[in-house]
A = this chain, B = another copy of it.
Amino acid sequence: MTYSLTVRDHMMVAHSFTGEMFGPAQRLHGATFVVDATFRAHDLDDDGVVVDIGRAAEALRGILSALSYRNLDDEPQFQGVNTTTERLCRHVADRLVELAREGALGGGALTGIGVTLHESHIAWASYEVAL
């Protein structure tokens, strides 16, 4: 059995893609990513939660703020790779994993973290990692 808690936030970024497959998305364009961060656990802590929802929302906010209102093509950490929706899911998830391991999210032992980025009303991507 698994419990999970999810919080939602968003970011607005510019970027471009390299590779013919991307067609017009090779041009500089942008996206609003509505971001869902999911935390999973086999059990709840004594307060009855998976994580402290306030700290989880704050953690997500901090991660997205470091990317938001920016042109991702200029960010050193993304040089040489396409900042596809899939890759950005992993970027956000990896940061959340670090914070979870530092105990920054409250709650008990997590078994997994998942991140979904909605790029429009008709497309989204996810990345899920076990802890």
Contacts and interface: CB of A to CB of B under 8 A. Distances in A.
Given A12-B119, A123-B7, A130 B1 contact: yes
A49 B86 contact: yes
Please tell me the size bucket of the interface on A.
Answer: 35 or more
Contacts of A81: 48
A85 B31 contact: no
Interface string A5-40: 111111011110101011111011111111000000
Interface of A: 1-10, 12-15, 17, 19, 21-25, 27-34, 44, 47-50, 52-54, 57, 68-71, 81-87, 89-90, 106, 119-130
22 contacts: A1-B128, A2-B126, A2-B128, A3-B89, A5-B125, A6-B124, A10-B121, A14-B30, A14-B71, A19-B47, A21-B106, A24-B68, A24-B69, A29-B68, A30-B31, A32-B32, A47-B82, A48-B83, A48-B84, A48-B87, A50-B86, A57-B122
